[in-house]
Chains A and B, each alone.
Chain A
Amino acid sequence: MQNQQATELLFELSHPGRRTHRLPECDVPVADAGSLLPANVLAGEPPPLPELGEIDLIRHFVNLSARNMCIDTNFYPLGSCTMKYNPKRHERLAALPGWANLHPLQSDDSCQGMLHILWEMQNILAEIAGLDAVSLQPAAGAQGELTALLVAAAYFRDRRENRSRVLIPDSAHGTNPASAAIAGFEAVSVKSNGKGLVDLEDLKAKLDNRTAVFMITNPNTLGLFDGQIAEITRLVHQHGGLVYLDGANMNAILGVTRPGDFGADMMHYNVHKTFTGPHGAGGPGSGPIAVRSVLAPFLPAPIVVKEGSQFRLDYERPKSIGRVRSFNGNIGILLRGYCYIRTLGPDGLREVTENAVLNANYLLACIKHAYEVRHGDRCMHEFVASAQQLKRMRKISAMDIAKRLLDFGFHAPTVYFPLVVPEAIMVEPTETESKETLDAFAAALLQIQKEDAEFLHDAPHTMPISRPDEVKAAKEPILRWKP
C-alpha cells in the first residue's frame, strides 16, 4: 500500500485554477480595494500560495499523517516528555462552542463559565504544588521558567537585593540555563555526584549572596528523587536565594509529595505532559507557574479572582512583572488539563503516579541485566540506561538502538540526554501502558543488543526513510520549497 502522493509537496501538487474554500458574494454595496485604499499599499497579486481541490488537500495531509508515529498508534516511551494517552473526551469537550468561540477580550460578565474553570484550575494547581498562588499565562514549560525567573528578579529588586546568578544542576533541561540568560541572570552549573544527585559540596561552594535562584528538577532527569532536597532548600534559603522546581517530572509525585512541602518557592507545570494535553507534534503546551505567597504580588497580570459569586480578571497588580504573552494563556490546553484532573479526582491522581513509577521500575527490572543503568536499581517514573558498554565492545550506539526500535513498532526513547550520561537512553513508559506492552518493548530491547552491529547502523529498515543526512541539512539549509 505504498502511496507516492504522500511525499509530494503541496506546491508540487498545485494546479492553477483549483481551490477548496469558496467565499460568498459580497452583500454590501461597497466598491473593491482599488477605490478604498491608496494604490501604493496594495500588492497587485495575492501571495503565490498553492492551488488545490478539496480531495487533493485531504489526501495529501491524511497520507502525510500516516508517516508519523503517535500515541494513538504506537508505544512512545520518550523520556522526559510524558507521552501518556490523550483521552478523546477532552477533544470533544474543549471544542464546545461555549469555549472555542470565546473572544479573549470579551467582558468578564459574558464569560463567567470560563473564568469559573480558570479560577478552579488556579486553586487545583496551587494545591497539587503545595504553593499559594498561580498564574496560568505561560504558553509552555520554558515560558513558565522564564516567567518565574522574572518574578524572582522583581522580588529581589523590590527588596533592593542585587542577585545576579542562577544555579542549575548539570543534569538539567537546556531550557533552564536558556531561560536564566533571557531573564538577565548568569547561569552557573552545579555538578552531579556519583549517585546522579546534586553534589552538595559543589552547591555549597557556589552558593553566596549573588545567588538569586537554584533551579532543580526533582525527580531529576535521571529519574531519581533527590532525597537531599530538604537540605538543599535549607542551604539555598540560608543564603537568601529562592528554590525553583522544574515541574517536567510531576507525573512521578502527584499526591505523594508536593514541591511546596519540600521547600520549593516556585515551580512550573507542563500541563501538556502531566495532565495530558496532546503534544501536537511540538505544541501547544501550557506552562502555568505556582509560587509562595511572598512572590504572588509579582505574578503576571491578570489573575482570576472571585468576589461573591462573580469571577473577574484582576489587572490591578502594581508589583506584577507584566505580561509574558498576549491574552490569557493556552486556554485550550488548560481546559483539557482541567477535564483530566476532574476525571481522576484525588485517588486517581495518586494512582497515576503509583503506576507511572511501577511501570518504569518494571521495565527497568526487565532490561537491567542487559543494559547498564548507572544510577541504581530503582527509579521514579523514568530511568536512563547507557549504551556506553555496547558502544565500546560492539560499536552499537544509543542512536542505533533508538532507530532499530522503530522497526519493532516502538517510538524511540529520548537519546543523548541527559548530557551527564554518555550514550544515554532515557525511557519513560507512563502509567497508561499495560504490562503486555512493556514486556514486548523489553523483549525488543533485549533482542536488539544481540543483533549485528552493521545491521543496526543501517536501521530502521521498515520506515519510510532511514538515517537522514543531518549534516547536509545544516550545512546547506533548505528551509522552504522553491519553484
Chain B
Amino acid sequence: MSYVLNTGPDQKAMLDKIGARSLEELFAFIPPELRLKRPVQVPAALCEIELQQHMSELAKVNRSADDAVCFLGGGSYDHFIPAVVDAIAGRSEFYTAYTPYQAEASQGSLQAFFEYQTLICQLTGMDVANASLYDGGSAVAESVLMALSINPKRTKVLVAESVHPEYRQTLTTYQKNLSTQPVTLPTPDGFLDPDALKKAMDDDTLCVIVQHPNFFGCLEDVEQLAKICHERGGLFIVSFDPISLGILKRPGQYGADIAVAEGQSLGNPMVYGGPYLGIMACREEFVRKIPGRLVGQTTDRNGKRCWVLTLQTREQHIRREKATSNICTNQGLFALRAAAYMAALGPQGLKETASLCLRKAHYLAEQLQQIPGVSLRFRRPFFKEFTIQLPGGVPGMLTRILQKGYHAGLHLGRWYPSLGNCLSLAVTEKRTRQEMDGLATALTAEWKGKIIAE
C-alpha cells in the first residue's frame, strides 16, 4: 500500500480540473521510449503486521549490545541514553519539520539549535559552534577544508597516526583532488611525540590534527603540541571525546583553533554507525569560515527576541561553487538529542559520567593485566578506552568470547599491522563490576590452557 489519499472519484475530479484524460497523460513530458515497460522489481508489498514480523525477525538475528556486553569503542560507544532525550526528540513537531528556513514557523528548532551551539561552546571552551555536521569522520575532513580557506597558501596537513583510522581515510578521500598534501606522523608509542611534531613542522604546514584521547585510548600532550603547531603558524585541530570533557581540559583551554568530535556519545544510539553527529567549534576569528548551518539571535519587527539561520553567504545555496562547504542537510535531530542530553546531565552529571568511565576503565585494565601474558600496550594515561597486548591471535578469540556473551573489543591489527595481537576496549558508565569480572574470567579461560601447554 501507499499512503495516498486520492480515491478514484478524487482522481477523476482532479484530472477534469487539469483537463487531462488520464494519469498517463500527465507523464507526456517523458518520451515513451524512455519509460519503464514493466513493474519495477522490488519485493511485494507488506502490511504493517507483516512488516513488523519481518523487521523483528531480522533484528533478532543480530547480537546487539542488549544481547552481549559491549566493550567496543573506536568512535561509537554504549553510553546510557536518559529517557528524556527520546521523549524530546520523539516530538513530531521536531522530527517531522524541515530545515528552519522560515523562521516564523521554526522558532522551536531554531532556539533549540542556538542552545545546542551554546552548549557545545560551554562543553569545549571554544567561541563558536555550528549547528552540526554529518559525523566525526567528515567533521575532520571539513576542518581541513576550513583550514585551507583560512590559509590557502599552505599545503601540508599533518595527521597523527593515533587519529581514528576511518577519520584519516575520510580525510584522504576528501583531499585527493585538492592542493593539500597529507602527511601521517607515526605514533609507535601510542601518542604523538612532541619532538617528532617539531621536526615535521615547517612554514608550509597548514594544520596539525590530533585526537585526544586518541584511537588507542591514550591522552596526547595537547598543550605542548598546540604550542609547537602555533610556533610555526599552523592551525591546531583536535578531535575530542565529548564525554571526556566532564573531567579533561577543554579544547579552548589548551589552544585548539578548530575542535571537532563524533557526537554519538551525547544521547545518540549506536545504530550500526549512523546517523551520528558531527560537532565543530572554532575560535571567534574564523566564524565566517566555518561550514554548515549557524543559528543567530536577532529581533523581529515588534522587537521580540528570536532566532534565524544566519551568515548564509558562506553556504552553497547562496555562494554555490565558492561556498565554505557543500553541506546542506545536516544532523538537526541529533543536535537536538545532544542538547537535551547535555542539559539532562548538567555539569555534575557530565563530570560523574566521565569519572565513572575513567574509574571503571582503570579497574578493567587492572583486572585484565592479572591474566598471564596480558599487558597494557602503551604506558600512557588513558580515559575510558585502552589497548592491551594479548598472548595469542585475536580474531578467533573474539568469536569464542562473543559466544560467552561479550563484545570484547576491537582488534587493532585490522588497521595497524604492528598491533596484530592488540585489542582496544571501551568502558562506559553502564558497565558493572560483574560484567567486567565476567569478561576477565572469560579471557583468563581463553589463554589458560594454551599458556600452560606452551
Contact = CB atoms under 8 A, between A and B. Distances in A.
Interface stretch (B192-200, B230-238, B244-252, B441-449): B244-252
A328 B137 CA distance: 12
8 contacts: A7-B305, A26-B359, A104-B272, A139-B274, A174-B328, A255-B40, A342-B51, A362-B18
Interface in B212-250: 219, 223, 245-250
B21 interface: no
B91 to A, nearest CB: 4
Closest 6 pairs between A and B when the two form their complex, measured CB to CB: A184-B177, A98-B59, A327-B273, A345-B45, A280-B333, A104-B273
Interface string A448-483: 000000000010100111111110111001111100
A251 B384 CA distance: 46
Interface in B346-385: 346-356, 358-360, 362-363, 366, 381, 383
Nearest to B262: A326
Given A41-B249, A141-B328, A72 B84 contact: no
B202 interface: no
Interface stretch (B150-158, B165-173, B183-191): B165-173
B422 interface: no
A37 B275 contact: no
B39 A346 contact: yes
A322 B173 contact: yes
Contact of A27 (B245, B320, B355, B433): B433
B159 interface: no
A326 B164 contact: yes
A385 interface: no
A345 B63 CA distance: 29
B58 A469 contact: no
B419 interface: no
A329 interface: yes
A57 interface: yes
A458 B301 contact: yes
A117 B270 CA distance: 17
B43 A342 contact: yes
B342 A65 contact: no
A209 to B, nearest CB: 18
B2 A47 contact: no
A466 B407 contact: no
Given A52-B344, A65-B94, A176-B320, 19 more contacts: A19-B348, A30-B359, A32-B355, A37-B219, A65-B108, A71-B97, A74-B105, A81-B98, A97-B66, A101-B269, A110-B402, A140-B330, A230-B34, A283-B329, A284-B331, A284-B332, A325-B137, A358-B14, A479-B294
A479 B295 contact: yes
B143 interface: no
A3 to B, nearest CB: 12
A47 B326 contact: no
Contacts of A18: 346
A349 B43 CA distance: 11
B23 interface: yes
Nearest to A377: B19
B30 A51 contact: no
A26 B82 CA distance: 18
Contacts of B344: 20-21, 52, 54, 57
A139 B135 contact: yes
A2 interface: no
Given A41-B249, A175-B328, A46 B18 contact: no
A339 interface: yes
Nearest to B298: A473
A9 interface: yes
A23 B302 contact: no
A282 B98 contact: yes
Contacts of A270: 329
A61 B112 contact: yes
Residue among B57, B58, B319, B352 with the highest chain A CB neighbour number at 10 A: B58
Contacts, number: 716
Nearest to A37: B381
A50 B343 contact: yes
Contacts of A143: 134, 138, 326-327
Contacts of B404: none
A433 B106 CA distance: 21
A350 B1 CA distance: 11
Contacts of A177: 316, 320-321
B219 A41 contact: yes
A481 B109 contact: no
Interface string B15-42: 1011110010011111101111001111
Interface stretch (A83-91, A198-206, A390-398): A83-91
A480 B117 contact: yes
A261 B23 CA distance: 22
A237 to B, nearest CB: 15
A258 B38 CA distance: 11
Given A11-B118, A470-B308, A480-B128, A343 B46 contact: yes
Residue among A64, A84, A114, A478 with the highest chain B CB neighbour number at 10 A: A64
Contacts of B333: 278, 280-281, 283-284
Contacts of B297: 473, 478-479
Contacts of B249: 41-43
Contacts of B245: 43, 46-47
A19 B294 contact: no
Contact of B4 (A38, A64, A101, A355): A355
A224 B131 CA distance: 34
Contacts of A403: 102, 104
Contacts of A42: 247-249
Contacts of A127: 40-42
Residue among A21, A30, A345 with the highest chain B CB neighbour number at 10 A: A21
